[in-house]
Structure 1
Amino acid sequence: MTAASGSDKPPHGINRRRVILGLLGLPVFIALFLFLPAGTWAWPKGWLFVLILLGVISAVFLVLQRVNPEVIVARSRFHEGTKGWDKILLSFYFPAMAAVLLVAALDDSRFHWFPVPWWVCGVGYALLLAGIGIVTWAESVNKFFEVTVRIQTDRGHSVIDTGPYAIARHPGYVGGILHAIGMALSLGSLWALIPAGLASMVLIVRTQWEDQTLQEELNGYKEYAMRVRYKLIPGVW
């Protein structure tokens, strides 16, 4: 999720079959991950979440395919050169995000630990869509927005300060935090905020470590950091 731009190399072709399978497989995986712990297929909040997610993912793909198709290819797999510390952080982040779904299903559908009104779900969807929107905005201007942290010397890695990067140095993580919290609330679970909070803490640590890496290894980043002072939230940090 680095601030980067540069290379004039043409993007590799998008593997449409892989993309289609991903679009179909992700909601199926989430549906199974949600409904098995829920103990029933008759869970309206779960179905609503899956359907909205499918629609949003499809819309994001169409937007990125039009404005920045190379980022789709870049995010389709892990790349060589990923920082070792980032692999460790991701080993905590992905399970925490999966736990958001698991805990929400157990809470709202099976055990009803802390029932919440539907308006809480509405707040959750607002946060979820805002988070996805911010991430998509960052992806649309940054073809180097990869899954892992690395210095992409093979792709002409250089700094960009347009779009959301003119506001904060790591807008993707802002979107990621909103995404995690929004997932928990949209599924009607306050207990799911615990793993969502853990995932958010990982992103905050990742922000700090990635920023240090970029300042040390990416040409022009120190100057960019002097112009755009804040990592995540303007006026705060």
Structure 2
Amino acid sequence: MIARLFIQTIIWLIAMGAVLFGAAGTLAWPAVWLYLLEVGVLGLWVGLWLARYDPALLAERMSMFVQPAQSRWDKRFMLGAAISWLGWFVLIGVDARRLHSHAMPGWLNVCGALAIFISIVATRAVFRANSYAAPVVKIQAERGHTVIDSGPYAYVRHPMYSAAMLYLVGTPLMLGSWWGLVCVPLMVAGLGYRAVLEERTLNAGLEGYAAYAARVRYRLVPHVW
């Protein structure tokens, strides 16, 4: 499983680098090299931690993003998300290296790297609390799926999406793309849309989820929504 983790991580890093460098038209973009290094090292850190403490969840996280047990609407969502992610990376590459429309201050690049770091560390906290944090929306009856209300789930119902918002903000900041940053509210809205539909699936198929949702009022941001 660890060998598969390294292989998938390398493939993902190569794919991201190919899109960003291809859109930029140059390999001379230090921010991307640092971005890939940070994402790769932290991703492997979380993956190796899972391999030791929760290999079943690691297997789920490394599975395909389209699965037989997955909700039909989520299959469509994941396809749209993949296309949007690709377009976003292309936009970031073109904006940051070809257009050079508005330079971004270096301190914002540092803030972006910090946001990505916090996002991945927070995701590890989600994995520690929730062994059923699969990448797709489905009821994992074969794994004894139950409601999780501890750790970050005591504060928001979708803490992984909360962490993902930091990643979405951090990426264009670290890479120096204002247009990439402009797209973030739309992507956050997409996360919110998925959270609402995911809750419908969980309410219908996971015992106790409705009571949990009544106790924990907020989906993504405490005291906001």
TM-score between the two structures when normalised by the length of structure 1: 0.88
The AA in structure 2 aligned to 1:169 is R
Q: Unpaired runs of 5+ in structure 1?
A: 1-14
Which residues of 2 match residues 83-122 of structure 1 at below 5 A? 83-122=71-110
Query: Residue 2 of structure 2 contacts residue 51 of structure 2 at CA under 8 Å; is this kept in 1?
Result: no
Cα distance, 1:23 vs. partner?
Answer: 2.0
Q: Which of the residues 16, 41, 44 maps onto 2:2?
A: 16
Query: 1:41 is matched with which residue?
Result: 27
**In structure 1, how many angstroms separate the alpha carbons of the residues matched to 2:155 and 2:9?**
31
**In structure 2, how many angstroms separate the alpha carbons of the residues matched to 1:105 and 1:229?**
38
The AA in structure 1 aligned to 2:3 is R
Q: Which of the residues 192, 195, 200 maps onto 1:207?
A: 195
Q: Does 1:167 align with 2:155?
A: yes
**Bigger helix fraction:** 2
Query: 1:5 is matched with which residue?
Result: none
Query: 2:216 is matched with which residue?
Result: 228
Calculate the aligned-residue CA RMSD, in Å.
1.6
The AA in structure 2 aligned to 1:145 is A
Q: Does 1:127 align with 2:115?
A: yes
**In structure 2, how many angstroms separate the alpha carbons of the residues matched to 1:65 and 1:41?**
33
Cα distance, 1:90 vs. partner?
Answer: 1.4
Q: Unpaired runs of 5+ in structure 2?
A: none
Distance 1:213 1:77, change over 3 A: same
**In structure 2, how many angstroms separate the alpha carbons of the residues matched to 1:26 and 1:77?**
14
The AA in structure 2 aligned to 1:218 is L
Query: Residue 172 of structure 2 contacts residue 180 of structure 2 at CA under 8 Å; is this kept in 1?
Result: yes
**In structure 2, how many angstroms separate the alpha carbons of the residues matched to 1:204 and 1:29?**
27
Structure number with the bigger relative contact order (C-alpha 8 A, sep ≥ 6) is: 1
Q: Does 1:32 align with 2:18?
A: yes
Cα distance, 1:208 vs. partner?
Answer: 0.9
Q: Which of the residues 115, 126, 136 maps onto 1:148?
A: 136
**In structure 2, how many angstroms separate the alpha carbons of the residues matched to 1:132 and 1:16?**
19
Query: Residue 154 of structure 2 contacts residue 216 of structure 2 at CA under 8 Å; is this kept in 1?
Result: yes
Query: 1:184 is matched with which residue?
Result: 172
Taking every aligned residue pair, what percent have the same amino acid on both sides?
33
**In structure 2, how many angstroms separate the alpha carbons of the residues matched to 1:215 and 1:100?**
32
